[in-house]
């Protein structure tokens, strides 16, 4: 067989690079839906395998039933609850600035607020009237900001329908033909069977651990909110705790989508102490759960260093959005695995060299 000349090899690799770049441009608009489809497939693969056995290995039927279950159990309830939650928060924030029984300007007459304003007046030589006006305006601006952000999330839900359809469509074929796709991918990747098995097993482990971590964090945040609100003396504390659990799954804002408007409402209606307690609970307990429980859980489950786990979660969210919750730990785990394989390769090469020279 004739060997490829160096110039031919360079041109061939150049052609591959161009083709890979063109393929990337082609798939770029669909990367996030495809990644979500992959994550859904990994999470619900045990259900699919169980259905595959029950349907006597009818792959299309098993995949179809799995997708129907995902829609009924996850998609429809989540969409309904999130829409309802955001709508309630919008109404909640509007009450702060529009309802007649809520007068924000009265807040500046509260004894504690007057004491704070006087101290600020003495420190910065600003008139008390200016501070009162600024304080009231900023509180109103915060209410308007909550409304704006919540409405944006609500308006963005219909626009995500196309991405949802792509995710749904891709998930179906990943369930049905996942084994074929997996074997094809394994044949194309220039790695040994040991390395491939490690990476694929580790990927599944990271996805499962992250999924469980997300649910565990949401449950703990909701529980803390319920107990705290109950002892603070807030009505409907159980419902608010449930809302905190659901809101914790919303990107960026998370549980603050519930407890911030609640605190503003309490302060604006004259329940200053309760509002401050809600803020303290929200900042130092509810939000800290998201920042520490999930990294600690992944640290224990995946045997990653706690600092790496922390950066993988928050770096992933900052770089990729909500899907970064999964991508961050996956990237870190794959990187560490690559370093381990490279270290083993070097040790093997050094051993061979020692055997030859020895």
| Enclosing domain of residue 284 | 190-353
Instruction: Please tell me the predicted confidence (pLDDT) of residue 68.
Output: 92
> What is the DSSP code string of 255-287?
THHHHHHHHHHHHHTT-HHHHHHHHHHIIIIIH
Residue 271 in domain: yes
- In a domain? residue 58: no
40 within a domain of the structure (yes/no): no
What average pLDDT does range 218-235 have in this prediction?
Answer: 87
Nearest CA among 227, 238, 234 for reference residue 261 = 234
When pLDDT is cut at 50, 70 and 90, the band that residue 210 belongs to is: confident
Percent of the chain with pLDDT over 90: 4
**3-state DSSP assignment of residue 46:** helix
Q: Is residue 49 part of a domain?
A: no
Q: What is the pTM of this model?
A: 0.66
Q: How far apart are CA 119 and CA 223, in angstroms?
A: 37
Local confidence band at 100 (pLDDT 50, 70, 90 cut-offs):
very low
Query: pLDDT at position 113, please?
Result: 63
Query: 50 falls in which pLDDT band (50, 70, 90)?
Result: very high
Residues of the chain with pLDDT > 70, as a percent, come to 69
Taking residues 225-230, what's their average pLDDT?
89
Across 221-226, average pLDDT: 89
What pLDDT does residue 1 have?
Answer: 46
Confidence of residue 129 (pLDDT cuts 50, 70, 90): low
Model confidence pLDDT, tens digit, residues 25-41: 888 888 888 888 888 88
Model confidence at 122, pLDDT cuts 50, 70, 90, reads low
How many domains is the chain partitioned into structurally? 1
Contact 216, 224 (CB under 8 A): no
Written as six digits, the tokens of 53 are: 């056995």
Average of pLDDT values for 109-124? 64
pLDDT of residue 178: 81
Structural domain includes residue 321: yes
In a domain, 300, yes or no: yes
Domain membership of residue 76 (yes or no) is no
The verdict on residue 114 lying in a domain is no
Q: What is the average pLDDT across 120-132?
A: 62
pLDDT at 101: 47
Banded pLDDT at 66 (limits 50, 70, 90) = very high
Across the range 213-217, mean pLDDT stands at: 81
Q: Give pLDDT, residue 142.
A: 63
From 314, 337, 341, select the one nearest 327 (Cα to Cα): 314
Give the per-residue pLDDT at 156: 65
| Among the listed residues 282, 250, 242, the one whose alpha carbon sits nearest the alpha carbon of residue 266 | 282
pLDDT at 72 over 70: yes
Sign of the alpha-carbon torsion through 82, 87, 93, 95: negative
Mean pLDDT of 288-298: 74
Per-chain mean pLDDT for the chain:
76
Query: Which of 55-64, 121-130, 142-151 is most confident?
Result: 55-64
Cα–Cα distance, 35 to 338 (Å, whole number)? 21
Q: Encode pLDDT of 74-89 as tens digits.
A: 788 777 777 776 776 6
Angle between helices 193-232 and 237-247 (to 10 degrees): 150
């Amino acid at each position: 067989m004739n060997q490829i000349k160096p110039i031919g090899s360079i041109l061939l690799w150049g052609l591959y690079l161009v083709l890979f770049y063109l393929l990337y441009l082609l798939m770029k608009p669909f990367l996030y839906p495809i990644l979500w489809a992959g994550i859904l497939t990994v999470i619900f693969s045990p259900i699919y395998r169980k259905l595959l056995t029950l349907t006597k290995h009818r792959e299309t039927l098993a995949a179809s039933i799995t997708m129907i279950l995902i829609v009924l159990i996850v998609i429809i309830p989540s969409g309904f609850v999130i829409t309802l939650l955001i709508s309630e928060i919008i109404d909640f924030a509007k009450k702060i600035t529009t309802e007649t029984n809520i007068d924000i300007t009265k807040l500046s007459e509260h004894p504690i607020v007057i004491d704070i304003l006087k101290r600020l007046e003495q420190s910065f030589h600003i008139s008390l009237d200016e501070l009162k006006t600024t304080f009231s305006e900023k509180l109103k601006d915060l209410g308007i900001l909550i409304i704006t952000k919540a409405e944006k999330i609500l308006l963005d839900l219909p626009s995500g329908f196309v991405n949802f359809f792509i995710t749904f469509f891709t998930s179906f074929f990943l369930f049905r033909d996942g084994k074929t796709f997996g074997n094809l991918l394994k044949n194309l990747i220039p790695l040994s069977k040991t390395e491939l098995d490690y990476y694929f097993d580790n990927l599944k482990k990271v996805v499962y651990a992250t999924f469980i971590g997300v649910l565990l964090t949401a449950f703990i945040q909701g529980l803390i909110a319920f107990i705290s609100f109950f002892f603070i003396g807030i009505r409907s504390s159980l419902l608010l705790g449930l809302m905190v659990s659901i809101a914790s799954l919303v990107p960026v804002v998370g549980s603050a989508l519930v407890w911030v408007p609640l605190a503003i409402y309490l302060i604006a209606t004259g329940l200053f102490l309760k509002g401050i307690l809600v803020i303290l609970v929200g900042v130092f307990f509810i939000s800290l759960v998201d920042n520490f429980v999930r990294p600690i859980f992944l640290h224990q489950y995946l045997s990653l260093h706690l600092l790496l786990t922390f950066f993988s979660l928050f770096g992933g969210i900052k770089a990729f959005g909500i899907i970064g919750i999964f991508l961050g730990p996956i990237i870190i785990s794959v990187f560490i695995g690559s370093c381990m394989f490279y270290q083993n390769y070097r040790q093997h090469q050094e051993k061979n060299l020692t055997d030859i020279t020895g």
